[in-house]
Amino acid sequence: MSILVYTESENGKLKKTALEVVSYAKAVADQMGGSVTAVVINAEEAESLGNYGASKVLLVKDDSLKSFDAKKYAATIAEAAKNEDAKVIIVSSSADSKYLAPLLAVGLEAGYVSNVVAAPSSTSPFTVKHTAFTNKAFSNSEITTDVKLVGLSNNSFGIVEVSGSAIVEDFSPAIPDSGVSVVSVDKATDKVSIADAEVVVSGGRGLKGPENWGMIEELAEVLGAATACSKPVSDLGWRPHSEHVGQTGKPVASNLYIAIGISGAIQHLAGINSSKVKVVINTDPEAPFFKAADYGVVGDAFEVVPKLIEKLKAFKAANA
């Protein structure tokens, strides 16, 4: 039996989530008995997925799939799943994968669970653990259909290298008309996105105004981090909406989350709780964030952050 994964790429390069979903698929294949087939769309070095457990790659090279299109991509993956007679299909939790997965579920009549954080606790019945109530809890859910679709939470399973190799086959699926076409893209190519970031530096209303974000951006740059903010900061127009994180904003699941001048309201914490290590910098020792954080500094951001930048630069220089 084959486990099918959709491995994402950007500008021809496989993304980190691609390695993560293949690692996860390999774990599922080992549990159920079976092999891993990856669908790769317009990317180079597809054979490298063998190092993470794929034994076969279906490589699609098609100009009509150059930019992401949920319907076309879903149809491509569905056709691959049918050809391979795959019973388990695994995708990531990126915005794009979350966009295509519901369409894929309908196409394959597959039960779908998103935000999965661990390998199945049982494969018969097929039971997976996923976040629910915006990270305030976990749910264990059974997928009861013959074909099963799993959306793996980013940064939750990790990347596991194995010794193996993958054969690459060309795959030319039938591509449907889309109905949605991209007119223009507005994307900062020089910045780390919150979804891909290992480290996120986030600022709150404690920073007093947009003119004070220079140090946040500098700190992010030193750490190779993405910048984020609390909801009121984006509502006030200090920062773009795309930086708003929390229950009603973007979810964050980074390795390190640094909250500066953020009180730690329940709606904020819910969205960032699946980050592994949380640091808070806040003048008020009673701020609720201190209850959620791993490390904390009680202090004025305007003094602490420049110091932190300086110390990190020194650290980087010493460890270069």
Partner 1 sequence: MKILVCISHVPDTTSKINFTESDSKFDTNGVQFVINPNDEFGLTRAMWFKEKQGASVDVVNVGGPETEPTLRKALAIGADAAIRVNAPATDGYAVAKQLAKVVNDGSYDLVIAGRESIDYNGAMVPGMLAGMIGANFIANCIGLEVEGTTITAVREIDGGKETVSSALPLVIGGQKGLVEESDLRIPNMRGIMMARKKPLTVVDAVEAHAGTKAVSFEKPAPKGAVKLVDADNIDELVSLLHNEAKVI
Ligand X SMILES: Cc1cc2nc3c(=O)[nH]c(=O)nc-3n(C[C@H](O)[C@H](O)[C@H](O)COP(=O)(O)OP(=O)(O)OC[C@H]3O[C@@H](n4cnc5c(N)ncnc54)[C@H](O)[C@@H]3O)c2cc1C
Q: Site residues for partner 1, window 19-38 (CB under 8 A)?
A: none
Distance, in Å, from the CA atom of 231 to the CA atom of 221, rounded to the nearest integer, reads 22
Rounding to the nearest 10 degrees, give the CA dihedral for residues 200, 206, 212, 216.
-10
Residue 34, token pair as written in the block: 């079976």
Question: What's the min distance (Å) between Cβ of 263 and partner 1?
Answer: 13
Among 44, 45, 85, 133, binds partner 1 (CB under 8 A): 133
Question: What's the min distance (Å) between Cβ of 265 and ligand X?
Answer: 3
The interface with partner 1 within residues 269-308 (CB under 8 A) comprises 270, 273, 276-277, 279-280, 290-300, 303-304, 307-308
Please report whether residue 265 would count as binding ligand X according to CB under 6 A: yes
How many residues touch partner 1 (CB under 8 A)? 94
Please report whether residue 180 would count as binding partner 1 according to CB under 8 A: yes
Residue 188, token pair as written in the block: 């900062």
Cβ closest to partner 1, residue 165 vs residue 248: 248
- Interacting span for ligand X (CB under 6 A) from 38-46, 100-108, 111-119, 224-232: 224-232
Neighbours of 85 (CB within 10 A): 10
Please report whether residue 247 would count as binding partner 1 according to CB under 8 A: yes
Among 57, 90, 91, 110, binds partner 1 (CB under 8 A): 110
Among 284, 306, 307, 311, binds ligand X (CB under 6 A): 284
Q: Are 78 and 114 in contact (CB under 8 A)?
A: no
Please report whether residue 261 would count as binding ligand X according to CB under 6 A: yes
How many Å from the N-terminal Cα to the C-terminal Cα in the chain?
A: 46
Please report whether residue 300 would count as binding ligand X according to CB under 6 A: yes
Please report whether residue 282 would count as binding ligand X according to CB under 6 A: yes
- 230 interacts with, out of ligand X, partner 1, none, CB within 5 to 8 A per kind: ligand X
Q: Are 270 and 292 in contact (CB under 8 A)?
A: no
Give the amino acid at 84: E
Cβ closest to ligand X, residue 38 vs residue 287: 287
Strands (E), 42-147: 54-60, 88-91, 111-116, 122-123, 126-132, 137-143
Question: What's the min distance (Å) between Cβ of 283 and ligand X?
Answer: 4
SS3 10: strand
Distance, in Å, from the CA atom of 171 to the CA atom of 240, rounded to the nearest integer, reads 40
Residue 89, token pair as written in the block: 């299909």
- 263 interacts with, out of partner 1, ligand X, none, CB within 5 to 8 A per kind: ligand X
Q: Residue 273 — φ and ψ, nearest 5°?
A: -60, -25
Please report whether residue 320 would count as binding partner 1 according to CB under 8 A: no
